[in-house]
Structure 1
Amino acid sequence: MTSTVADLLPALGLRVVAGPVELRGLGDDDLGALADLAAAGIHAEDRMPFYHPWTDAEPEALRRQVAQYHWRCRADFSPASWDLNLGVWHEGTLVGTQGFSTRDYLVTRTGETGSWLGMAHQGRGIGTAMRRAICALAFDHLDAEEVTSGAFTDNPASLAVSRKVGYHLGGQTRLRRRQGELAVNQQLVLRPDDLVRGEHPVTVEGLPAFRRAIGLDTDTPSPEETS
């Protein structure tokens, strides 16, 4: 039997659903639409909510960088170091991405969330719903013991999402953002008992293969679970 791409890269077979919000693996056919969404705008030009100012690029270069980033994460994926980047669909429309990045996960059982939404889809509660969904995936299905996040102190929207999901404030780090610009990054920590769950149950497909891909359940596949 011929292997599919999802057989080789099980993250592409993941599907996490919470009501109208769906997180799923981004295939190559999705990357063009995602790149166009990013080029249409993620934030106002006078703001920079990201540590790396990749959205300062010209639209054509930005589109290419979006695709390259996802290809690079796939190529570097291993149990020792992995970035899970899921596309976010709201009522069937691609609206952004939600990620979970970690190193030495089998030891640390922790990872950091990161995400973005196209500007046309912000301010509608989607950011909170997708963060809750990725945290439920991590805690309920991937045996995580902690999830972290970070946001610059001048990014109140991201900090508000973290509060709604149940994160607690950690320390702060002073970083260079754009050329010569100081920014203060607020660290946040979430543990399983503090997760504020949404009104919709979270269902997961494609879980056994992904757990094996990150070094969990190497002998016996885990059954599909629903929370």
Structure 2
Amino acid sequence: MTPPAAPPAPSETPAALTADEIWPFAGLRVVSGDLELRYLDDDLLLRLAVLAGQGVHEPDAMPFLTPWTRGTPLEVARSVAAYQWRNRAEASPDKLGIELAVVRDGEVLGIQGFYAGKFAVTRTAETGSWLGLRFHGQGVGTRMRRVILHLLFAGLDAHEVTTSAFADNAPSNGVTRRIGYEPNGVDVVAREGKPVESNRYRLTREVWEAQADRPDVQLHGVEPVRRFLGLDAPTDPVG
């Protein structure tokens, strides 16, 4: 007589994926006093887009290589939203462009971003930012740059951070020099059909660590970002 077949083994249900695993940047927050850099969810993004449509700089200035601020308020707002959605879709450890909302007392002031290619290998990132025009001249630009530097150096183990600014953008150049970046060359680029000089700067980890006036900063949600970038295994700094 043939013995009865063994009952089938119970199927294993895979563990549910967490929000951090699906999108590691969703919980990223960097806080210093009343100023916060926060992941741009769709609510913050739409508020940011409205802010951009209200003006980012004076009409006779252009601080960006791509003149995305030209157009009607609706065109500018839609451009901002489309750009951020594209950044999300294209994010990978090999090429990353993350822009965080700058928030103060619940109000969105602008963005502070960082951009990198193969960051786990190079440990180098570029920063960029903008503020709504009505928030210029309040010292926010310096504060938010110091906050993103803390994220990059203390949170993500960067070895070097770079940035650039057009030679005629005095506020941006002033913030960069005040924070301690060193000049790193000059490029001539085409801006709205005309040549213009762009100053390049670099800040090393050693110079940043030696600064006595660094602000108090709290990091939240950094570990999922580290895993996404492949930072669990430390790398040796470039000599």
TM-score (norm 2): 0.86
Deviations 1:96-125 (A, max 9, x none): 000000001121110100000001111111
Residue 200 of structure 2 corresponds to 187
Q: Does residue 61 of structure 2 align to residue 47 of structure 1? A: yes
Aligned residues: 217
Structure number, greater radius of gyration: 2
Indicate if the aligned counterparts of 1:20 and 1:91 stay in contact, CA closer than 8 A.
Answer: yes
CA distance in 2: counterparts of 1:34 and 1:198, whole angstroms: 30
Indicate if the aligned counterparts of 1:132 and 1:197 stay in contact, CA closer than 8 A.
Answer: no
CA distance in 2: counterparts of 1:213 and 1:64, whole angstroms: 29
Moved over 3 A (4+): 1-7, 196-200
- 1:151 counterpart SS class: strand
Deviations 1:129-169 (A, max 9, x none): 10001111111110100000000000010011101211011
Give the stretch that moved more between structures: 51-60 or 15-24: 51-60
* Superposition deviation, residue 20 in structure 1: 1.4
- 1:176 counterpart SS class: strand
- 2:59 counterpart SS class: coil
| TM alignment of 1:1-227, pairs within 5 A | 3=17, 5-178=19-192, 180-195=193-208, 196=211, 198=213, 200-217=215-232
CA distance in 1: counterparts of 2:54 and 2:61, whole angstroms: 15
CA distance in 2: counterparts of 1:129 and 1:188, whole angstroms: 18
- CA separation of 1:199 and 1:78: change in aligned 2, threshold 3 A: closer
CA distance in 1: counterparts of 2:176 and 2:105, whole angstroms: 23
* Superposition deviation, residue 3 in structure 1: 4.7
CA RMSD of superposed structures (Å): 1.6
* Superposition deviation, residue 200 in structure 1: 3.4
- CA separation of 1:21 and 1:198: change in aligned 2, threshold 3 A: farther
Q: Unpaired segments of 5 or more residues in structure 1? A: 219-227
TM-score (norm 1): 0.91
CA distance in 1: counterparts of 2:154 and 2:190, whole angstroms: 36
* Superposition deviation, residue 198 in structure 1: 4.8
Give the stretch that moved more between structures: 45-54 or 191-200: 191-200
